[in-house]
Amino acid sequence: MNHSQADLPLMAAAFLSAPDAALIVAPHDDRILAANGAASALLGYRPEVLQGHAMTRLHPDQMAALIVFTDAALTTGQASTRALSPLHGEGRDLHLEYVGSRIVRADAPPLLLVTITDLEARERRDVDAEADSYVRGGMAEWRRVQRFFREMEQENQLILHAAGEGIYGVDAEGRTTFANPAAERLLGWSAGELVGRDAHELFHHHHLDGSQYRPEDCPIYAAFHDGEVHQVEDEVFWRRDERPIRVEYTSTPIRDHGTLIGAVVVFRDVTHRREAEEKLRAALAEVGRLRERLELENAYLQEEIRSENNHHEIIGRSPAILSLLDQIAVVAPTDASVLITGESGTGKELIARAIHDASPRRSRPLIRVNCAAIPRELFESEFFGHVRGAFTGAVRDRVGRFELANGGTLFLDEVGEIPLELQGKLLRVIQERMFERVGQETTRQVDVRIIAATNRRLREEAEAGRFREDLYFRLNVFPIESVPLRQRREDIPLLATRFVTRACRNLNIPEPTLTQAHARQLTGYDWPGNVRELENVIERAVILARQGKLHIELPDRDGGGGHDGGGNQWDAVDIQSQPAGSALPAPKLLTVDDMRRLERNNIIAALEMAGGKVSGPKGAAALLHMKPTTLASRLKALGVR
């Protein structure tokens, strides 16, 4: 633009008094040369402060946008932008539009005339102008505008009523301003009861666990403090009836001309979904626990339970075996603890399995623990399990034998070998049916029946202080003695026959004949190793058999004789001197009824000797070496009054 010198004062006056804010800028040295009164009022600085002020200092952190605007105006002659927001003198936010026009100078670099428009003021002027047009249009136009706003409000109300999610508004003080019908239904409050009341205090005041939810921690309140949208996926609102509902919600801030005045909250009830998710997680965790347990049970059962190397049933017809079967029949249906005593190799584990198989727990496993084979430092881990990192080498969680036997039976073989210092923990679990894994404080409940076995005299061990007396009494609720093989010699041929069949099946060879001579040879031996020794001798004989004939080799016996159950010497049968067809005289067999009559008569005799007294030092129970409660049970079963 070229003007005469006479025009300059007039142009300067017009510039300074112009209603639109304007600056004259020298881009080459980043300096404001002049600012009119409107610019001073809009930007919040006095004109003398703006004059000489750097344009870049007025727009901190906006260097890129300022350079683009300036280059466009200088290159094309005119440019506009809404990307610039100058630093206001009083700190207010400004929404402006810049229009830059190039001023060409013949002997100097060009200048820029920057006109600044307040967009919010322009919007207000537009609204006023539109309202003025409505006024000029008369009553008809005013009614049309009223109808337009009424229809818009009705449409908004229809949307709010139709929404399935709860929607309510809060002002900057947290007071409820409106609530839609879905919010009323979900919260149990009417809109009239909600409006004007503190929303957080009314229904958002506590967490699900009952702990207080402070307003300063509330994301809904945070929305009209920080101006951010807050989305929460799992919190709780409290209904009017004080019942919690799980909710997820979005809190969106509301602004009026840049000022935060409140928030709108949209929420939905996710109680059923959260409950379903929690049940699913619990079910998956339970499936994981059951899978781990079943894997352990499977490995254990493959190793321990019902293998071909174990007896499948109790074999024998001797009075001792018949009495044992009767005891098993009495105690199996109960949950009473059983203590099986007897020499090694007499089949204590077989008795334990028979009790378990005849009990209501038969569908759950019988878990065997060989207490003599567990290192002292691993007893707790073996019994109760451990968690990863509980001790050096614990690289993963491990289920203990008690947990593995939950619902079933735990067989503590060689229970007398448990270290004295650990017997107290075992007693606690048996009594309270609760335990903790090593390295974990979580208490677990367990339902386990205890069957224990030992070849020690635990009563004497307890009296000597080598075994806890209270644990002994807890285990010895129902004592069973497994008699040695030498006290039931009539069962030896039956056992030998069964072992021959089993060994031949395992070795896949023809079954040789077990003759009467073999039977006499086996019956004449004392069997200090009991049934286990008999099975080993038979298996060796089967391996050495030639042309269908067994070759049985027995260990040498000191003195050449054996012992009966009372320790009396008896003469061994010389197999070579017996005729080939001879046989031992058949023992007199007792039926179950005979055994019951024998037991009944024996108990009656004891009662007569005790003068009818059941318990006490000289009672029938003491004479029979039986607990008074056990004798009372037998009296009832045998019909003795």
Q: Of 3.40.109.10, 2.70.70.10, 3.40.50.300, 1.10.8.60, which CATH number belongs to 485-577? A: 1.10.8.60
What's the one-letter identity of residue 587?
P
Nearest to 100 by CA among 120, 115, 86: 115
pLDDT at residue number 296: 65
pLDDT at residue number 158: 59
Task: Indicate the CATH number for domain 5-123.
Answer: 3.30.450.20
Mutual angle of helices 319-331 and 348-357, in 10-degree steps = 40
The model's pTM: 0.45
Q: Which CATH class is domain 151-269?
A: alpha beta
pLDDT at residue number 148: 52
Return the domain boundaries, the chain. Answer: 5-123, 151-269, 304-482, 485-577, 592-638
Placement of tokens 């932008």 in the chain: 81
| Burial class of residue 7, CB neighbours in 10 A (0-12, 13-18, 19+) | exposed
Judge if 5-123 and 151-269 fold alike in CATH terms. Answer: yes
The DSSP letter of residue 391 is: S
Fold held by 304-482: Rossmann fold (3.40.50)
What does pLDDT average to in each consecutive run of 10 residues of the chain (641 residues)? 60 83 92 91 89 89 89 92 89 90 89 92 83 66 56 57 80 88 90 89 87 88 86 90 91 84 90 87 80 65 46 76 92 94 90 93 90 85 81 75 90 91 89 86 88 92 91 93 92 91 87 87 90 91 84 66 35 34 46 74 84 83 81 80 73
Nearest to 325 by CA among 368, 366, 362, 355: 355
Which residues, in sequence order, are CB contacts of 4 under 8 Å at separation 6+?
none
